[in-house]
Structure 1
């Protein structure tokens, strides 16, 4: 019962996507119906020819020619109608899936960051690609096939009862037997189909893992282990597929053909038992033809049941993502006048962690200040930066930006006024121009000025197409430092009131670090700088250094003040000096 409760709402919701294409859908169904009728009329014509011309030996050339022409026209019309209905259904399906993918992608883009913390990225990609492709089959295969099959069954049965109701009643006996076979097939095939989808997803995941980690795999000579792992998943997938094929091979065509043969024997028996002339030879031919054609729609319905179930399961996964809570922001759209930050009594823990990552943080940062967060791994530096960005809702305490509560600020205002440069910046597989502008309207002259500021102009000039030179996937033709400078260049297009740098200098050489330092000096006159520092040498000039330990602020002050205290910061600084 629970299965039915879940099945129908999802199916209904998937069918709602067809409403904008109502007229095209009606036309497609009319074409499909016309094609089915054209197929069924053919045997009636042949039956008429056998009964009224061939059996009576009255071979009228003109009538024979007319029957042949009509028969050929019906076959051509059937091909014509079936071709265009197939094109129409596929056209509708592609448009519907395009809209569905947009909705899924839009939902994914609006997910809270916490959602990406709790589930693999591959699962979300699978919903946008594989699951929408599975749903596509509902529109271009399942719906037309079921409609055509059911229509054909009713038209064939109607034609049978019109020709000879005694024989039609015998043919009707096949239906309960076929329904029983369908239910048995459905019961045994459904768990196998689930296994096939699971093993296929497993193979895709392992390929993805192997390709992404190819450097480590080759370095530690793990090729054979990964090869065997994929082989094992492929073998399991093969076994499950073979079980389905064997099930189809036994329960569908051979068994249905056996039932048809038994019904045909009954026809012949009935034909021989009644007196001569009670049944015409043409009628027997028509029934034999219809019986053969009745098998195909019945098999199609059985197979489409499994495909329909897969579409519903995929639809359920898609709607789970679409219906999941979106990132919440405030309604205040006013631009921040300053980069003042006030953090009051903030404590925080992630959804999957009961222990507080931050504990009663209180910091006041004036506008255009250079503040640094330092501390050992796990001290809460990046978590605090994420809260400043508005990535997570604040459960305990308050954060004020320009004296406005952060949860009252709108998404557009927040993104214009506070930006972040991460440790591993994202570089698009596109031109340098596109990577800096990110869709914003900026002149080439302004881009070159920004490139001069971040000391990348000489590199770009050396490229074949200048700012229109394409970068490789994830910027693989740039060094880590050049990626960082490119990420800062994006910021300089429209300098924010607050700029957060999350360990942006952690993986770069000292030369690039100096270039970034020079760039930050130019930004500092316009923005409040919040730097999460790994290298303490980069924050010597900071107006305020905040030392965190296990989520608590243990020291506050300038570089000189903290060194004079000879406490935690002093120990960290001395340790780094001894290693350099």
Structure 2
């Protein structure tokens, strides 16, 4: 009972997904009930025939023919009803899981960036795929099985009491024993099932890491090491699964079959000790048949406990994702009129970090200006860019965009007015057109104009299907520079007020860098441009260069001014020049 109370909130919430399909559920339940009744009426008909036709030697052709025809009709009806109820229940289950999967995926899409900093991607994928598939079994297997088994038990017990109540009372002895076994099974299996789901998520996560990092793994000859890690996770999952199977093997069919055999022996003893025809042969046949059929739904109910608990555990994991706090954005939906940025006294640290990543940052960036952030690795450049993007809430200090606090601006306005090109841009395994449009309504002509602007038109024209040519997974048929130009092409569909390039030219050749520089010159006329620079040669024309070190601004000014100062920036620039 305690477990049921614990599971009830999850079960209640999962059951709400069935509400739109109440009519189909009622029809499926009616068919299931009809199939169960048809199945139970068969032994009653045979019992009647044994006692009143065979026992009394009234072997008339017409009577026997009617009994046979009725029995066959009952079996056909049972098959018919059970077939269609199975189809209906599965149809409802697929629709419900489809909606649940959409909700989970939408929740994953709305997660704040900080969630992905700490949670392995494989675990989230497991929630969207494996956990929803487990819940599907709740609707298409567990619920119909429990309902059908419950109906069968009630109808069989009713038939037993109608035929002979003494024997029915003996048969009832099996129920409290079964309930006790079910409680034991639930108590010991629940923690094992939770572990098994965790280990499965861990396996998915390790596979995801291994496949994504295959180049590094093979380069450093770590195949055996990663193989051992996956084997360890697989073994833990296997060990948990084996414990559940041992539990099933002991507490379910063998034990229940033994109990049914003992009760059957009691029936035979009763038949021996009462020679005055209280128990007739037909009734004994019916009770033997019913006891066998009563055993099956009881075993089915006990077996479904395992799937039921897996579904509840999966439901807990899914709803933990759906209910996880979303990042709060403002409600101001006024579009930014300019790309002016003011950063005042901003201090910031990540969720699990003890020290501030950024310390007392103050920067003024006029609209349509060109600003560069430079500094050593870990100096806070990308973190500052992420704060301007609105990826993390600001709790200490303020960032103003067009004189409005970023905490007051709506998510829609932020995403429409501020865009970022990252060092490793994501390329979808889709067409060139889809990769640039990203679901936005845009004409082919505009796509070609954009491709001209980013110097990719000749490349795309050389492809077999032009803008409708498929790009490989993660754009593996494009060079690093071409990926960067493709990412910039996305920006040009609708010019933002603020554009951030995070080390966008760090890993490209000088020729592609010049193409990107030409593209950026045209973009500068329409928006504020912020570049996180690795190559200082790309930012010599910047209106403002901000030098960061350990989260603090140590220098700022134009390229010429900073060189004359002969400080940290001068040393960095001199070092790069000497290398070239």
Q: For residues 40 and 392 of structure 2, what CA distance do their matches in structure 1 show?
A: 63
- Match in the other structure for 1:533: 533
> What SS does the corresponding residue of 2:492 show, helix, strand or coil?
helix
Instruction: Give the aligned partner of residue 164 of structure 1.
Output: 164
Once structures 1 and 2 are overlaid, which stretch shifts more, 361-370 or 482-491?
A: 361-370
Structure 2 residue matching 1:493: 3-state secondary structure: coil
Deviations 1:306-365 (A, max 9, x none): 211111111111111111121222222222111111111211111212322111211111
Contact 2:194 2:313 in 1 (8 A): no
- Superposition pairs of residues 328-407 of structure 1, within 5 angstroms: 328-407=328-407
Which residue pairs with 2:18 in the alignment? 18
5+ residue gaps, structure 2, are none
1:273-328 CA-to-partner distances (Å, cap 9, x unmatched) read: 11332211100000000000011111111111121111111111111111112122
Partner of 1:561: 561
Query: Number of paired residues?
Result: 580
Q: By how many angstroms is 1:383 displaced? A: 0.9
Indicate the residue corresponding to 1:458 in structure 2.
Answer: 458
1:427 aligns with 2:424: no
Runs of 4+ in 1 over 4 A off after TM superposition: 1-5
Structure 1 residues 189, 7: closer, same or farther in 2, change over 3 A?
A: closer
Offset of residue 66 of structure 1: 1.0
SS of match in other structure, 1:97: helix
Aligned-residue Cα RMSD (Å) equals 1.6
In structure 2, what is the equivalent of residue 61 of structure 1? 61
Distance 1:260 1:489 in 2: 73
- The residue number in structure 2 matching 1:481 is 481
Instruction: Name the structure 2 match of 1:95.
Output: 95
TM-score by length of 2: 0.97
Return the offset for 1:3.
4.8
Q: Deviations over 1:241-279 (max 9, x none)?
A: 334333333332222222111111111111111133221
**Preserved contact between residue 330 and residue 410 of structure 2 (Cα < 8 Å):** yes
Point out where structure 1 has 5 or more consecutive residues left out of the alignment. Answer: none
Partners of 1:552 and 1:303 in 2: how far apart? 62
2:556 alignment partner, SS class: strand
For 1:86-165, what aligned pairs fall within 5 Å after superposition? 86-165=86-165
2:546/2:555 contact within 8 Å kept: yes
Tell me: CA distance 1:308–1:548, structure 2 relative to 1, closer, same or farther (3 Å).
same
Mapping 1:262-341, distance limit 5 Å: 262-341=262-341
- Does the C-alpha gap of structure 1 residues 359 and 225 become closer, same or farther in structure 2, counting only changes over 3 Å? closer
Flag the 1:219–1:490 CA change in 2: closer, same or farther, 3 A: same
Deviation at 1:211, TM superposition (A): 2.0
Q: What is the match of residue 70 of structure 1?
A: 70
Q: Which residue of 2 aligns with 1:544?
A: 544
Q: Are the counterparts in 2 of residues 186 and 302 from structure 1 also a CA contact under 8 Å?
A: no
**Equivalent position of 1:408 in the other structure:** 408
Partner of 1:467: 467
Q: Mean Cα displacement is larger for which, 171-180 or 33-42?
A: 171-180
Alignment of 1:158-197 (within 5 A): 158-197=158-197
Residues in 2 aligned to 1:50 and 1:268: alpha-carbon distance in whole angstroms: 18
In 2: Cα distance, 1:368 partner to 1:95 partner: 50
Residue in 2 that maps onto 1:491: 491
SS at 2:478 equivalent: coil
1:575 pairs with 2:575: yes
Q: Which moved more, 1:117-126 or 1:90-99?
A: 117-126
Deviation at 1:5, TM superposition (A): 4.5
State the Cα distance separating 1:470 from its structure 2 match.
0.3
Where in structure 2 are the equivalents of 1:436-451 lying within 5 Å? 436-451=436-451
Distance 1:538 1:99 in 2: 49
The answer for the alignment partner of 1:501 in structure 2 is: 501
Tell me the secondary structure at the aligned position of residue 397 of structure 2: strand
Tell me if the contact between 2:562 and 2:569 (Cα under 8 Å) persists in the aligned partners. yes
Measure, in 2, the Cα distance between the counterparts of 1:441 and 1:498.
22
CA contact (8 A) 2:199 2:233 kept: yes
What TM-score comes out, normalization by structure 1 length?
0.97
**Alignment correspondent of 1:260:** 260
1:61: Cα distance to partner? 0.9
In the TM superposition, what whole-angstrom CA distance separates every residue of 1:127-180 from its partner, at most 9, and x where no partner exists? 111111111111111111111111111111110000000010111112122222
Q: Distance in 2 between matches of 1:329 and 1:344?
A: 19
Give, in angstroms, the shift of residue 186 of structure 1: 2.9
Determine helix, strand or coil for the equivalent of 1:295.
helix
